[in-house]
Structure 1
Amino acid sequence: MDSHIEKNANYISYEERISSEKYTKRFYERLSYNWAIFPLTVAISFVALYRVSTWTGLYDMVVQQGVLWTTDCTVIAIVHAPFLLSQLPPYSILWGLCLPMRPFAQADSTKKRVFRELKVCLVTKGTNVQTVLNSVKPWRFCKQSSSVSFHVILDSCEDRFKAKLPRFVNIVKVPASFQPDHAKYKGRALEWCRQLWKLSDQDWVLHLDEETEIDEYLVNACLNFIERGTEQVGMSGFLTTAEVFRVAEDFGRFQLPLRLFKRPLLGWMHGSFILINGAVENTVTWDTDCLAEDFWFAFQAARRGFKFGWIHAIAREQPPISVHDLIQQRRRWYTGIMSIDSWLVKSALVIPMMGPLVYACL
């Protein structure tokens, strides 16, 4: 294929596809040795920090020989306590990174259940047309099974996609007349689809935001989760182009409780790249006025005893590109989570915010 051909909005080259697949596979081949890599790097970091502190004389200035506890120790403990509590549990990122991940174990196991259809569902307001087109690009390489279908859910009366999207992509318009009891915005669109599709326990939905890109490796990982797993809800981390702290948090606050207890920490679940069984959607529904509908859904599903699992695959997304967009995004998250009727949820959200405030005041 001529590499000089101008790419249109729905074109992705074979080389780009293979590069993405190889990157993901190599990433998880290395991550399979995480149980050895991360403890070693942590040990090296502590040794290096100790060497630097002794070389500069800082260690002798701070540490009093023969004294187990000082006033300075108390001050430091108080300052660091909110930071430790904010990880819920303390050092959860470290434990999550050191827990053997075995990313290929599920693919090598036997099939345990059958399914009828996997619906890849992208929800959009219809305003960021080019962003949606970019996210849909790789879908044509993900059609390896007739049981996988692709849908763009349009939460708007105006349709700007009909002539631009590939023919295999189904456009679902949420009618303006549809008014559920509680749900608004994205939750309203998801609730319309749930009722429209009449999902069963053999149906699965992969929920995506408009800026999330997937590939063939990810779809295969979802199919392995469906056919070879036992959990009803699956999620994974993002390889983002910014916000690196969220990537680290994926292995702690998100992955660790799922791997250990088959349920999220309270309701912490990504709003994109969520693989959900139809029976779970019908039981919990999306009919909520909570602005953080993903957190609310995970919180309610966990309370009902549904099992959550971790999918070893990468979804690529574009985070907010301006400070204003970032503030608006966090404001929606915090407002939505704080509206949930649980003092434990509210405390878990407020405590992590205390750490930066304490540091800022010092």
Structure 2
Amino acid sequence: MLKLSANVKHSLHCILLLSTIIGYELLSYYSNPNTDQSVSDLFSDYSLWTALAILLYNLLNLLSLPMNLFSIIGLLLYNAFKDDIKIKKLKSIEKKIPFLCIRVVTRGDYPQLVRKNVDRNMKTCLSAGLRDFIIEVVTDRAIGLKTSTKIRELVVPDGYRTKSGALFKARALQYCLDDGINTLKDNDWIVHLDEETVITKNSVNGIINFVRESRHQFGQGVITYGKDGIVNWWTTLAESYRVAEDLSVYRLQFSMFHKPLFAIKGSYIVANSGAERSVTFDNNGPNGSVCEDIFMAFNAYRRGYTFDFIEGEMYEKSTFTVWDFIRQRKRWIQGLLLLIYTSNIEHRYLILLEIVHLSMFAMYIQLIDLIYPVPTVYWCQLINRLTVSVVVYQQLFGTVIQFDWRQIGIKKFILCLVGSVLVIPFNYVCFLIVILYALLTKKHEFFVVQK
């Protein structure tokens, strides 16, 4: 069977993306002609206050525009279909690979999983040719690893306290940076992983390229959830959108702007040791501990450090249950709210994140349309249709990236695509539940999903 090159796949994907957007706009318009109104129509057909309320409702669609534009541009600009990531040959004098510390943070609840993944990641690193590195497991409870020159187990003392009172993962990560505990030099690099994260050869090569170039102090790559065993098809398919988001929004913000304009994830972060010690994880005490990754990233951003995207994926599994899926995202939303409302980071750094925050709450207002259809302004409806087409396309695109039809078979692959579309309403309902759950429950909890 003909095997398409990565460039051909990317070209076909770009054509399909643009066709989806344009096609949905035209189909929606011609299937309901003359239903959209102009702003002048509103003020001629309704009273002043009613017209203003309808216009304001329509303007809520603008909140989705930044994410939509980043998604489209990111998908068009960057090729996500590269099968193999090669180590680059630098034009300057050949640079030695800096020392890498692969740092895994865990509570110690799943020692067997940690031991299994440490062994697995060690073999991958060695087979990829990496030699100057160590895997460091930072845990609240002893795992019982067999330590060596390449494996270090670091147990955080029960009585350890940071200066600002950081909790959870932030507390453990800060412990590693403290004098007397830290063994890294400023020009060494840290690869942050969760306990379930599995390294691939491609990700090792991508990290090597990133740290050897040393142009940016922080980097992040993509994680997929469907290539290392499926524990829950529903939640794995739901993660497809997040995979596409990594390869579009996140990739564009890091590759073009070199800033965490929207956010960052807590796993598969690569950080220069000196920069991380300068920024620290001891930011904003308990408030900065719910999503320590995003607090660290925006503190680094405001201090002038730069970011980049790292090629080569790593593997994780989706949450085991829908309830875990909801509770995990509840913590993320709470961390976002704490960053916006309790941190000392200036709003000019958070502007796009704040727009995302407002768009989440706009989802509730837009439910009015299900009960009482609201008249639509033409150009606002164009944006609404753009949002729908981008969401559907990203969901399908993420599924294509997550699942290889050659491995699972064409029938199962088609079922994955169908299931991916069916899961979109599930994602929407879950998100509505998550927002309410985040608002109505305690903000300083750190839920660890089943693994």
TM-score of Structure 1 vs Structure 2, range by shorter chain: 0.7 to 0.9
Question: How many angstroms does 1:32 deviate by?
Answer: 8.3
Which secondary structure does the structure 2 equivalent of 1:150 belong to? Answer: strand
Partner of 2:210: 225
Q: Structure 2 counterpart of 1:184, which letter?
A: L
Partner of 1:148: 133
Partner of 2:159: 177
For residues 228-262 of structure 1, the C-alpha deviation after alignment (integer angstroms, 9 at most, x for no partner) is 24111110121123211111221343111212211
Q: State how 1:259-338 maps to structure 2 within 5 Å.
A: 259-265=255-261, 268-288=263-283, 289=285, 290=288, 291-338=290-337
Asked whether the 8 Å contact 1:53–1:59 carries over to 2, the reply is yes
Asked whether the 8 Å contact 2:264–2:293 carries over to 1, the reply is yes
Q: 1:42 and 1:172, CA in 2 relative to 1: closer, same or farther beyond 3 A?
A: same
Q: 1:185 and 1:224, CA in 2 relative to 1: closer, same or farther beyond 3 A?
A: same
Asked whether the 8 Å contact 1:115–1:202 carries over to 2, the reply is no
Query: Are 1:110 and 2:91 an aligned pair?
Result: yes
Query: Are 1:45 and 2:30 an aligned pair?
Result: no
Partner of 2:66: 88
TM-score, normalised to structure 1's length? 0.77
Partner of 1:125: 107
Which is worse superposed, 287-296 or 323-332?
323-332
For residues 34-70 of structure 1, the C-alpha deviation after alignment (integer angstroms, 9 at most, x for no partner) is 3x3343112322454467568xx72446479xx8985
Percent pairwise identity: 25
Number of equivalences: 327
Which is worse superposed, 174-183 or 87-96?
87-96
Asked whether the 8 Å contact 2:124–2:199 carries over to 1, the reply is no
Q: 1 or 2, which has the higher helix percentage?
A: 2
For residues 116-160 of structure 1, the C-alpha deviation after alignment (integer angstroms, 9 at most, x for no partner) is 41011111111123432443324312122321211211122xx24
Structure 1 CA distance for aligned equivalents of residues 9 and 88 of structure 2: 17
Asked whether the 8 Å contact 1:208–1:273 carries over to 2, the reply is yes
Question: How many angstroms does 1:297 deviate by?
Answer: 0.5
**Deviation >6 Å, runs of 4+:** 74-77
Partner of 2:422: none
Partner of 1:7: none
Partner of 1:358: 365
Q: Show structure 1 runs of 5+ residues with no match.
A: 1-25
Query: Are 1:97 and 2:82 an aligned pair?
Result: no
Structure 2 CA distance for aligned equivalents of residues 82 and 230 of structure 1: 39
TM-score, normalised to structure 2's length? 0.63
Structure 1 CA distance for aligned equivalents of residues 55 and 7 of structure 2: 33
Which of the residues 30, 43, 53 maps onto 2:6?
30
Which secondary structure does the structure 2 equivalent of 1:213 belong to? Answer: coil
Structure 1 CA distance for aligned equivalents of residues 148 and 68 of structure 2: 47
Which is worse superposed, 295-304 or 226-235?
226-235
Q: Structure 1 counterpart of 2:203, which letter?
A: L
Question: How many angstroms does 1:76 deviate by?
Answer: 9.4
Q: Show structure 2 runs of 5+ residues with no match.
A: 46-51, 227-235, 370-451
Q: 1:276 and 1:32, CA in 2 relative to 1: closer, same or farther beyond 3 A?
A: farther
For residues 248-296 of structure 1, the C-alpha deviation after alignment (integer angstroms, 9 at most, x for no partner) is 2213431112122111105x11100000001111110111321111001
Partner of 2:407: none
Q: 1:75 and 1:52, CA in 2 relative to 1: closer, same or farther beyond 3 A?
A: farther
Q: 1:257 and 1:81, CA in 2 relative to 1: closer, same or farther beyond 3 A?
A: farther
Q: 1:321 and 1:87, CA in 2 relative to 1: closer, same or farther beyond 3 A?
A: farther
For residues 287-308 of structure 1, the C-alpha deviation after alignment (integer angstroms, 9 at most, x for no partner) is 1321111001100111111110
Asked whether the 8 Å contact 2:99–2:133 carries over to 1, the reply is yes
Which of the residues 17, 21, 31 maps onto 1:58?
31
